[in-house]
Chain A
Amino acid sequence: MGFGQFLAAPEIKLKIVTYRDVFQNAAQESSRFGEEYEKLSAIIKLDPRDISRLSITENDTVIVKNSYGRVVVTAQRSGYEDAHPGIAYMVNSPWSNALVPDKTSGTGVPKFKDFEATAQSSKGGKVTGIREIF
């Protein structure tokens, strides 16, 4: 265990946008409980500057949470040319849905594609398994 284990990990605020991914979708068709589905679902895509602010490197795991839920997912660079600090992308999945607010203003439609959460390093924590989300 390194000295870093005793330091508080920096926490950043993020706006999260969800998207669809055909590879993840195909993995879902094969098995919602498969490794491939978890690998392609339990991820968050970040701006490189946010990765630095979190004091992590790509493919480290991060805790993403808000008052609706908490998941540990793998952090990846978004790969977008344009900078997007403070905005992160998650593929539509039970992991992203764990964080979607239930507030609808009476419309019956939650904000699946636009919600806020915080992220911080999980310090080597394991990705939340699909059965552990509940």
Chain B
Amino acid sequence: MSRKYYVCTGCALLCDDIEVETDNDVVTTVHAACRKGVARMKGCSNPMECTVGGEKADIDSAISMAATILRDAKNPLIFGHGNSSSEAQKKSIGLAKKIGAYIDDTSSFCQGPIIEAILQDKLKTCTLDDIRHKADVIIFWGADPSNSHPRHLSRYSYFPRGQERQRGWEEDRTAITIDIRRSETADICGDTRFYQIPMGGDAEFMEALVSALSNKVPKTSFDFDKKRILELGNVLKKAKFGVICVGLGLVYSLEQLEPLFTLMNKLNEVSSFHLMPMVGQYNMRGFNQNLFVETGYINRLKFNAETGETEHGNNYSVVEVLRDMSVDAALIIGSDPLSSLPLSIARYLAEIPLITIDPCNNLTATRSTVTIPCALGGVESGGTAVRMDGVEIELKKIIETNNPSDEEILTRITEAM
């Protein structure tokens, strides 16, 4: 009998080797997934209810009210998307175009600049499978996959015996952590391969590393041991297939990406280095790619309903439009911005009419005029999603639910407009 494998939607690794046991349309056991993945696939203990104005409602009334809110809004915002299938994301983009909405996703305040640079061919990248089979020097920079992407090291970057890395971590791979704190990942890399830099010191450390790779004396204002930087430079020079896994620690520390471009260019003069964005939500990259195909931008847009043209830029980011109080209603899909945004910004969001589509109850839902429960992606509904490395993965439905998929809900809202 052939075994059935499913995809975990716990993070953007989209591990596709998951086996499950079910009973009466409930996932009871999950095999192979990490702690976070098991929790995701088993579903939450407090599912969201279908409500209008805080009272239980049927889905038809909720969709009708959602359409009314969006129709009445002059400057609606559609936000979320990281936990939605690509099919739902495309519906959302279509809806934003139709009603002239602002549209954004969580990449706007996390991995967005890195994904954008990759899609614009400004940074050399590779697939996770390339890392598993070929990578010999792996840098975790401002990233702690032991917590954020627990199977990254075991499935791809450090422990596996890849096609060209048969001796695995013991002999064939060198893992390095550059971070401002000793993370669990830094512990795995070991004392000699952990480079602890001060807060905000990433750009300067990059410059010093470029000096070391150029056979110059590496200097930092925080007086980092020059010998250790030179030694690191030598390891990187000898790499046959190097990777920098970029975490949020690095993204937030860099005011602009120039130091990273300079380092990557230098690394590719002396050896071969690739960059992997450590994307969190399972289909954030999918949203960036889908919007990029449609508009040439990955996020931070406002559509003109009449012309279909777009305005784009920092001023159209979810953070700026909420801080400026430019939006007067919001549709939130698979996200909890009241939890993930700074409170001072989220407070305004809580004051305007909100519609939340999500499988689970969350803070944003508690402040929403309309809540519509949807099927849990990759468990109760299928579709496609894009892994952190840009590879498209098919999600299979495991169990039945009465809740429609987010794609279906968005289709119905669009039709009701």
Q: Which residues of A contact B (CB under 8 A)?
A: 15, 17, 19-23, 25-27, 29-34, 68-69, 80-82, 84, 87, 89, 93-94, 97-102, 104, 106-114, 130-131, 133-134
Of all chain B residues, the one with the shortest Cβ separation from A94 is B339
**In the bound complex, what is the Cα–Cα distance between A29 and B336 (angstroms)?**
12
User: How many residues in B have their beta carbons less than 8 Å from beta carbons of A?
Assistant: 56
Verify if B188 is at the interface (C-beta below 8 Å from A): no
Given the interface pairs A19-B147, A19-B183, A107-B314, the reply to whether A97 lies near B199 with Cβ below 8 Å is: no
Given the interface pairs A33-B46, A113-B249, the reply to whether A68 lies near B320 with Cβ below 8 Å is: no
Of the candidates A93, A113, A134, which one forms a contact with B248 in the assembled complex, judged by CB atoms under 8 Å apart? Answer: A113
Interface of A: prevailing SS:
loop
Given the interface pairs A97-B340, A112-B109, the reply to whether A104 lies near B319 with Cβ below 8 Å is: yes
Of the candidates B10, B320, B367, which one forms a contact with A106 in the assembled complex, judged by CB atoms under 8 Å apart? Answer: B320
Contact in complex: B181, A17 (CB < 8 Å): yes
Given the interface pairs A33-B46, A94-B339, A108-B314, the reply to whether A22 lies near B146 with Cβ below 8 Å is: yes
- Give 10 closest A-B pairs by Cβ, nearest first: A108-B317, A29-B39, A100-B342, A26-B39, A98-B343, A102-B344, A94-B339, A20-B147, A22-B147, A20-B148
**In the bound complex, what is the Cα–Cα distance between A87 and B361 (angstroms)?**
34
B315: A residues at CB distance < 8 A:
106, 108
B103: A residues at CB distance < 8 A:
none
Which residue, of A20, A93, A106, has the highest number of chain B Cβ atoms within 10 A?
A20
B342 vs chain A, min Cβ distance (A)? 4
Given the interface pairs A29-B44, A108-B300, the reply to whether A102 lies near B252 with Cβ below 8 Å is: no
Q: How many A-B residue pairs have CB under 8 A?
A: 144
In B360-399, the 8 Å CB interface with A consists of: 360-363, 366-367
In the complex, given contacts A19-B181, A26-B38, what are 8 additional A-B residue pairs having Cβ atoms less than 8 angstroms apart?
A31-B46, A68-B344, A102-B345, A109-B108, A110-B319, A111-B252, A131-B366, A134-B367
B182 vs chain A, min Cβ distance (A)? 6
Verify if B65 is at the interface (C-beta below 8 Å from A): no
8 CB contacts below 8 A, A to B, read: A20-B144, A26-B35, A31-B45, A32-B361, A34-B45, A94-B338, A94-B340, A104-B319
**In the bound complex, what is the Cα–Cα distance between A29 and B358 (angstroms)?**
12
Of the candidates B42, B320, B338, B344, which one forms a contact with A69 in the assembled complex, judged by CB atoms under 8 Å apart? Answer: B344
A20: B residues at CB distance < 8 A:
144, 147-148
A97: B residues at CB distance < 8 A:
339-343, 346
Of all chain B residues, the one with the shortest Cβ separation from A80 is B182
Verify if B196 is at the interface (C-beta below 8 Å from A): yes
A89: B residues at CB distance < 8 A:
181
Of all chain A residues, the one with the shortest Cβ separation from B45 is A31
Contact in complex: B342, A101 (CB < 8 Å): yes
A132 vs chain B, min Cβ distance (A)? 11
Contact in complex: B361, A33 (CB < 8 Å): yes
Contact in complex: B360, A32 (CB < 8 Å): yes
Interface 1/0 per residue, B248-261 and A, CB below 8 Å: 11001101000000
**In the bound complex, what is the Cα–Cα distance between A87 and B182 (angstroms)?**
13
Contact in complex: A31, B340 (CB < 8 Å): no
**In the bound complex, what is the Cα–Cα distance between A26 and B362 (angstroms)?**
15
Verify if B34 is at the interface (C-beta below 8 Å from A): yes
Interface 1/0 per residue, B17-54 and A, CB below 8 Å: 00000000000000000111011101011100000000
Interface 1/0 per residue, B177-214 and A, CB below 8 Å: 00011110000000000001001100000000000000
Of all chain A residues, the one with the shortest Cβ separation from B320 is A108
A28 vs chain B, min Cβ distance (A)? 8
A19: B residues at CB distance < 8 A:
144, 147, 181, 183
**In the bound complex, what is the Cα–Cα distance between A31 and B34 (angstroms)?**
17
In B272-324, the 8 Å CB interface with A consists of: 300, 314-315, 317-320, 323
A98: B residues at CB distance < 8 A:
342-343
**In the bound complex, what is the Cα–Cα distance between A99 and B320 (angstroms)?**
18
Contact in complex: A134, B252 (CB < 8 Å): no
Contact in complex: B44, A30 (CB < 8 Å): yes
